[in-house]
Chain A
Amino acid sequence: MIGRIRSQAVDTSKFVTDWMEHRTGIVTMMEHFLYEPVPKRGAWLYTLGSATLFTIVLQFLTGILLLFYYVPTTDHAWDSINYIMTEAYFGQMIRGIHYWSANFLLVVIGLHMAQVFFSGGYKAPRELNWVVGVVLLLLVIVLAFTGYLLRWDQDGFWASVVGMKIGSYSPFVGGPTIHFLLGGDVIGPATLSRFFAIHVWLLPAVLAPFIGIHLYLLRRHGVFGNEFEYSDRLAKLHERQRLESYERYEENDGQPYMGRRDRADRNGDEDEE
């Protein structure tokens, strides 16, 4: 009974998978994106990029949730966050994850960069991926800076003032940049609106495609490691995949593999002769 249900479930899932594969090619795509051979030595260090991606995804998800309560005006911003922290169900947890994963994000990015730098992963042909990574780093830094003011408390307020005034010392562009961020010539309600727009809409919208480019370039060239070990492992992986598909064929079909039987017959014939 259980065996029959299991085989039916297997059949159904296989049918759905095949159906999707024929129409979208999604299975091949998933295999391509999920299976990535990495060098044997220091394999755990290669999870730092995934850790970065994970924390960024956490930022997106918890950020969307926080938007259900946050009010970006000077008279309600602090109160709405206070509401999230004290009254909303799991509000403290959601905002805590947003806050702490933002902190960890910068740490993990630093470690990820250090790993790529010391392993020489930025070398040809992966230079552009390093450049895209630096763009991502800068975007995350500006996101961290703009997110700080949204709390509209003394801490975030003065930190933003200091940050903007540091920028104002830059020659020529300093003044206009700060006026752009302030929304005028003094900090006020327009400043909060602008920081909100930049933090919630502009930068995430810019960040997402750059993450896509970063991952595409990674998949195009593979992670950097010992080239011999790399090609060796890649060959082994392909061999294993070939054997697995062959076994599956044998099991599901119930018939021996035609090519092998032919060859065996032919060999047998040859032996007899």
Chain B
Amino acid sequence: MAELQKDPITRKDFLSFGILGTITGAILTIPPAAFILGPVIKTDVLGQTDVPSGPDDWHEVGSITEVPVEEPKVFVVDFPVNQIYGDRKIQEESGLSTEEFVVESAIWLSWQHEILEGGEYGQSYRPAFLDDYDGGTLTQAQIEEIQGNLKVLSSSCAHLGCPVRWIVKEGAGEFLCPCHGGIYNINGQYVGGPPPRGMYEYTYEVREDGRIYVRHEFDIEEGLDVQKPYVI
């Protein structure tokens, strides 16, 4: 290199080359990098999500009367995913397509149970007034009692995201993940297997007409926030 360079590089040459190189490099690398890293910037830096989960984005699950006393029941909710299908407003204005990409998500609903020693299920904490509830207006106290004892669980296993299913055992039962055998009890609490925590619980509310609504929001524990349910 030294033989090729007749004159030593001057300070001015070095600086101008450095500045020019930096500018050229930035022009060449930043646009493509930002282009493909868009989702990472949106999710990790700006904290956005693809599934609308604001205070108004409630999705109906079903009626409170549909949840059985002794075992969980699965409900299906369509969550819209806004990833690459563009602006909803433009879609509606053009009139060409109002299609929205939705994911059918399985949600397990169960009444909280007392867990006895040895993992047996004790009594169900299902509010007693539901026995003769026929779909009328609920009082605020009744709603609070329901919300204290209803479990709204994501079917996505907390280990690696496979859909769990309810396995009936004698007089009891458990959530079992088909992939690596994670086991949870009827309350969605961790019982056995590889999962680092219990099942994800949705943010939900029960309205006066006895219907249950969920939002795409989970009880993410501090320190485990990397392990979000990427499947909804």
Contact = CB atoms under 8 A, between A and B. Distances in A.
A187 B39 CA distance: 12
B231 A186 contact: yes
A180 B50 CA distance: 13
A178 interface: yes
B81 A169 contact: no
A49 interface: no
Contacts of B227: 165, 168-169
Given A162-B160, A162-B162, A180-B37, A189 B230 contact: no
Contacts of A161: 160-162, 230-231
B40 to A, nearest CB: 5
Contact of B160 (A165, A176, A184): A165
A183 interface: yes
Given A162-B160, A174-B226, A185-B228, A179 B40 contact: yes
A166 interface: yes
A180 B40 CA distance: 5
A189 B84 contact: yes
A74 interface: yes
Task: Classify the interface of chain B: helix, strand, loop or mixed.
Answer: loop
A186 B39 contact: no
Given A183-B84, A187-B230, A188-B81, A74 B160 contact: no
A159 B27 CA distance: 38
Given A161-B161, A165-B227, A183 B39 contact: yes
A155 to B, nearest CB: 12
A53 interface: no
Task: Classify the interface of chain A: helix, strand, loop or mixed.
Answer: helix
Contacts of B226: 168-169, 174-175
* Size class of the B contact interface (CB-based, 8 Å): 20 to 34
Given A162-B179, A185-B228, A190 B84 contact: yes
Contacts of B162: 158, 161-162
Contacts of A58: none
Contacts of A184: 39, 42-43, 49-50, 81, 83
Contacts of B191: none
A248 to B, nearest CB: 46
A193 interface: yes
B103 interface: yes
B103 A188 contact: yes
A91 to B, nearest CB: 28
Given A162-B160, A162-B162, A168-B226, A187 B43 contact: no
A148 to B, nearest CB: 15
Given A175-B44, A189-B85, A190-B39, A182 B230 contact: yes
B44 A186 contact: no
B51 interface: yes
Contacts of A179: 39-40, 43-44
B17 interface: no
- Residue picked from B39, B159, B163, most chain A C-beta under 10 Å: B39
A179 B83 CA distance: 12
A183 B101 CA distance: 14
Nearest to B163: A158
B161 A183 contact: no
Contacts of B160: 161-162, 165-166
- Residue picked from A74, A176, A191, most chain B C-beta under 10 Å: A176
Contact of A186 (B37, B85, B159, B230): B230
A164 interface: yes
B84 A165 contact: no
Contacts of B36: 180
B84 A193 contact: yes
B232 interface: yes
A166 B226 CA distance: 11
Interface of A: 74, 158, 161-162, 164-166, 168-169, 174-176, 178-180, 182-191, 193
14 contacts: A161-B231, A162-B179, A168-B228, A174-B226, A178-B230, A179-B43, A180-B36, A180-B37, A180-B39, A185-B39, A185-B50, A188-B103, A190-B50, A190-B84
Given A165-B161, A193-B84, 7 more contacts: A158-B161, A161-B230, A162-B162, A175-B226, A186-B51, A186-B231, A188-B103
